[in-house]
Amino acid sequence: MIERRGSVGTLNRVFLVGHTHHDVGYTNSPRIIDRMHEAIIGEVLDLADAHGSSGPDRFRWTFEVARPVLRFLEHAPPEQAHRLRRRVADGTLAVTAGYLNNTQLASQSELDAAYDRLAAFAAAGIPVRTEQHGDVNGISWGAVPAMRRAGVSRLVMALNPDHGRPPFAQPSGFWWEGQDGEPVFVWLSTHYGFGEEWGIVDADVELAELRISEFLDGLAARRDYPYDTAIVHAGNDNRWPTALFLDVVRHWNARRPDVRMETATIDQALDALEAQAREADIPRVRGEWSDWWSHGHGSTAREVAVYREARSLSLAAQSTLALSRLRGDGDVALATVLGYRRGPVRLRTPEEIDRDLSAVDEELMLFNEHTWGSWETYSRPHSFFSSSHWNGKAGFAYGAYDWARDLAVEGLFRLVASGAPDAPVAARAIVVVNPTESVRTEPVTVEVDGVREVTVVARDVPAFGTAMLEVPAERPLPCSGRGIRTERYAVTVDPARGGVVSLLDLATGRELVDQAAGSGLGAVVVERVPADSAHPMVTRSPKDFHPDNPGPDFVRAVSTSDVLPLVTETDDMVEIRWIGSAPTVPSVTATLRLYRRTDVIDLDVELVKPEVFAPESIFVAFPFAVADPRFLLETAGAVYEADAEQLPDTSKDWYSIQHAVGVAGAEGGVLWGTVDAPLVQLGGFQTGKWARELDAPHGHINSWLMNNLHFTNFQARQDGTLRYRYRFRLAAPDAVAVRRFGRDLLQPLQARAYAGPVALRGSSGLRIEPADRLFAELRPEGDEVRIRLRNPGAEPVAARVGWDGTGVEIVPEAAIVPPYGLAEVRARRVEPHPR
């Protein structure tokens, strides 16, 4: 009998959980794998019929993610759907709640879109109680309340041990609280890959007995394992289902009657473990589960930027199409050529809008799924398979972008013309649309005549409304200079230090740039491993970039130049542009803009990057002069303080954010945001420290654009011309301010040059109150509009939703939005559309 020292009870049961780990790719092309996982459902049903004993060796199976099961239900004949429903009901099969094994790239909107799909299970009479992840080594804090809203209260995380640490020993159970204090039960499982490594899925019964016995001996020696049950996974990457693992159960029970082994679904296993956890003293923690593997987001910088642009366009389209649905279509300026600059050639029906918005959601979720490349992407980067695999994966981002851009163009044209027939045709102007609930003032950049870009400040654009601006004259010719100034700021650039060496707040005299930093603000910094490095990741294997091998030490070079910057002034702004170069980045062009009568500062950085296979990282430096800083980071659905609000041993070397960071200090702070690049390092350069505590004495943010510090499925190199966009301003940030700054970057003002019917100037009619305490997200659904109200704060908000005028019904008009929570309102037009 295996006894556990210093804990309650005796370890006397092993649950063997059969499943396949769901990768959209890796072992084969995403195009093929995605279809095969749907086919797995039918194979599992056949195996369940063939191996339906009543003993411990009964075939049981868990579908690790929801998407293939949902697709099966969508396509299967009724009798097949009935087979699935019956097998779930009798405990043979379990369906889980996670749509895919997604990364921390996903926004709150994408999380909710994934959980929305679970309604199809309820309609089919299939219960879903547990979410299961494999390989993904972190998950956004905002996922906790999102899970609970979807009726899911348990989470299984089978972390991959490479490139990081687990927050507790694997396996362990703990309670993970959301920002609202409501928890989910987490089972931090062993890595699912042991199912193959230990011989389980291939029925190497002797090896399986040896490895499982060693595993149980380790659990018995732990004082922090108050369970009489262990879970062992019978699965691996994209394994076609078989019943071979049942031989392991039979062999084990014949040899080890003291510890019973039986098959189980993940639901059955967690029913037992959660019940025991409620009687035990297990950890209760709150904060972000910051993913060590998120550095992979920097292995595909261009496609991640495309994906982020696609979701912004999708949200803009949802808003404009929803508002035009409520107002009624006017005489939309239809084009005669299928082209981006010309507008739509026809208007989608409500059914087509629903279909195409759903398709964008699907492509976004497939891209932010964790399988970045194939198992030979790093080792054979130029193989046909590596290229084909990445073409399929990147296609999800580009597919989402294509459809979202087209929907957003149609939405803008429909909204501007909505509400009245025979609207007057405006001369050429810049039309600006505000897709959000608050009045906005911010810069917009617009293409004019297909040959030039203009940047103007759109002031006081009404909530859910429009504004018309004059097209500015041609830009004046630039002149040489090292400094620019507005009524708020004075900036000095030194190309020899790579960027801005002084950014002075004229109102307070405060210097925003750390004068002791190794580079200027906006400088591109290249980080490399020295040629004579003896670190194991260089001399043995790139897999040794790992906490067990701290380091390596890096050398860094700043992009520099001796060429004077160029300064351009217009009525709305003054900008300074400088160039530089650095090792592995032969061309850098940076443009910083100050605006008149608004305090935001924009920085664009454009790189020309040849491919490099040696280990490297590329950063844009923001060495803010903030003493004793606290860093507030925007994750999906939440804001957390770095280090102070994180699960133990989660990543502190780098963070994947949504858009915004607040740097708070005793003498003032900064709100900073990134449009394109989600990875940041805080307080300095942290690569390879594998820190257990964040050492960030300075208010520096280093935007980690790209890296190739990988060993398997991340890209081994990157090349091309790439642009990265940033915005920041002085502030004393709190969590709500960070959320709003990030939301505004996710949903910017939409603007374009336009000459056509204009029926809407000003407010569309929709009002959200109080707009300063809520975020509103619109989406057309059939003949209705769904309005989701999000509360970013710690106190409940009494919300009211109204419509100026008649013809629109809103149900309910008032709602209490709980702290950090969500409420949903429906609106529809009840009078005929104007014609």
CA 43-67-294 angle, to 5 degrees, is 120
Helix (H, G, I), strand (E, B) or coil at 568: strand
The pLDDT of 10-25, averaged and rounded, is: 96
Pick from 557, 554, 537: nearest CA to 545: 537
Residues near 280 by beta carbon (within 8 Å), at least 6 away in sequence: 8, 226, 227
Question: Contact 401/133 with Cβ under 8 angstroms?
Answer: no
Task: Provide the 8-state DSSP code for 292.
Answer: G
Which pLDDT tens digit goes with each residue over 696-726? 999 999 999 999 998 888 888 888 889 999 9
pLDDT at 834: 64
pLDDT at 545: 92
pLDDT digit string (tens) for 653-696? 999 999 999 999 988 999 999 999 999 999 999 999 999 999 99
**According to DSSP H, which parts of 488-647 are helical?**
536-539
Average pLDDT over residues 375-398: 94
- Buried/exposed 759-792: b ≥16 CB within 10 Å, e otherwise: bbeebbbbbbeebebbbbbbbbbeebbbbbbbbb
Q: What is the pLDDT of residues 44-62, one digit of tens each?
A: 999 999 998 889 999 999 9
Q: Which of 562, 570, 501, 55 is nearest to 264 (CA)?
A: 55
What tens digit of pLDDT does each residue of 304-316 get?
Answer: 999 999 999 999 9
pLDDT, residue 716, reads 86
With beta carbons less than 8 A apart as the criterion, state whether 637 and 285 touch: no
Question: pLDDT at position 351, please?
Answer: 97
Task: Assess contact for 618 and 706: CB atoms under 8 A.
Answer: yes
- State the pLDDT at residue 1: 33
pLDDT digits (tens, 9 = 90+) for 100-119: 999 999 999 999 999 999 99
Counted residue by residue, the chain has a size of 835
Tell me: the pLDDT tens digits for 584-643?
A: 999 999 999 999 989 999 999 999 999 999 999 999 999 999 999 999 999 999 999 999
What is the pLDDT at residue 22?
Answer: 96
pLDDT digits (tens, 9 = 90+) for 282-305: 999 999 999 999 999 999 999 999
Strands (E), 482-600: 483-485, 489-494, 499-505, 510-511, 524-528, 555-558, 566-569, 573-582, 585-595
pLDDT band for 424, please (50, 70, 90 cuts). Answer: confident
pTM value > 0.85: yes
pLDDT digits (tens, 9 = 90+) for 77-105: 999 999 999 999 999 999 999 999 999 99
| 145-149, 276-280, 449-453: least confident range | 449-453
Strands (E) across 627-698 are located at 630-635, 638-641, 655-656, 660-664, 669-674, 679-682
What value does the mean pLDDT of the chain take? Answer: 95
CA dihedral 733, 738, 742, 744 (to 10 degrees): -70
∠ CA(316), CA(320), CA(325), 5° rounding? 145
Q: What pLDDT shows up at residue 835?
A: 59
CA 462-466-471 angle, to 5 degrees, is: 120
771-804: per-residue pLDDT in tens?
A: 999 999 999 999 999 999 999 999 999 999 999 9
Note the pLDDT tens digit of each residue in 467-511.
999 999 888 999 999 999 999 999 999 999 999 999 999 999 999
DSSP-assigned letters across all residues of 136-196: ---B-TTHHHHHHHTT--EEEEEE--TTS--SSPSSEEEEEE-TTS-EEEEEEEPPTTHHH
3-class secondary structure, 678: coil
Over residues 266-280, mean pLDDT: 97
Q: Which helix (H) or strand (E) holds 617?
A: strand 616-624
Residues 524-538 have pLDDT tens digits of 999 999 999 999 999
Please give the average per-residue pLDDT across 319-338, as a whole number.
95
Q: What helix, strand, coil percent values describe the chain, rounded to 5?
A: 25, 30, 40
Q: How does pLDDT run across 744-764, given as a tens digit for each residue?
A: 999 999 999 999 999 999 999
In this predicted structure, the answer to whether residue 7 has a pLDDT above a threshold of 50 is no
pLDDT for 4 beyond 70: no
Find the mean pLDDT for residues 556-580: 97
Contact in structure between 220 and 228 (CB atoms under 8 Å): no
Is the pLDDT reported for residue 9 higher than 60? no
pLDDT of residue 3: 39
Confidence label for 5 from pLDDT (cuts 50, 70 and 90) = very low
Beta carbons within 8 Å of 59's beta carbon, 6+ residues apart: 18, 47, 48, 50, 51, 52, 53, 92, 243, 246, 263
The model's pLDDT over 336-359, given as tens digits with 9 standing for 90+, comes to 999 878 899 999 999 999 999 999
